[in-house]
């Protein structure tokens, strides 16, 4: 079979070629510190996808931790201060980012 064959979703709407899948997996590989920093390029697509899921989970935990730290920081300063306004603005931006 050709590596250029198309895959069709069950709904018959979306098609993606094997080459596109390879390209997307390669892009994911470059975003993952765990894989990007390895000397070997021999990492399976399934490993890249698993590491992507793990990395996203760790980023969510990090955002949760930072949100908690922001809340604690806000509790220690005057709510009407310039610092509080900056922290609130950053917290809103973080929340918007997480919705994407």
Helices (DSSP H) in 3-99: which residue ranges? 18-31, 33-36, 45-76, 82-99
Residue whose token pair is 């919705």: 99
The pLDDT value recorded for residue 12 is 58
Average pLDDT in the chain:
81
Domain regions of the chain by residue span: 6-99
The pLDDT value recorded for residue 10 is 55
pLDDT-flagged residues of the chain (< 50): 1-5
Structural fold of domain 6-99? MYOD Basic-Helix-Loop-Helix Domain, subunit B (4.10.280)
The pLDDT value recorded for residue 34 is 84
| Length of the chain, in residues | 100
The pLDDT value recorded for residue 35 is 87
The pLDDT value recorded for residue 13 is 64
């Amino acid at each position: 079979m050709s590596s250029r064959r198309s895959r069709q979703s069950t709904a018959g709407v979306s098609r993606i070629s094997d080459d596109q899948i390879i390209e997307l997996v390669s892009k994911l590989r470059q975003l993952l510190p765990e894989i990007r920093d390895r000397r070997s390029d021999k990492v399976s697509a399934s490993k890249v996808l698993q590491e992507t899921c793990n990395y996203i989970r760790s980023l969510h935990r990090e955002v949760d931790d930072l949100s908690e730290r922001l809340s604690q920081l806000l509790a220690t300063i005057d709510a009407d201060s310039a610092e509080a306004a900056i922290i609130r603005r950053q917290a809103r931006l973080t929340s918007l980012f997480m919705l994407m």
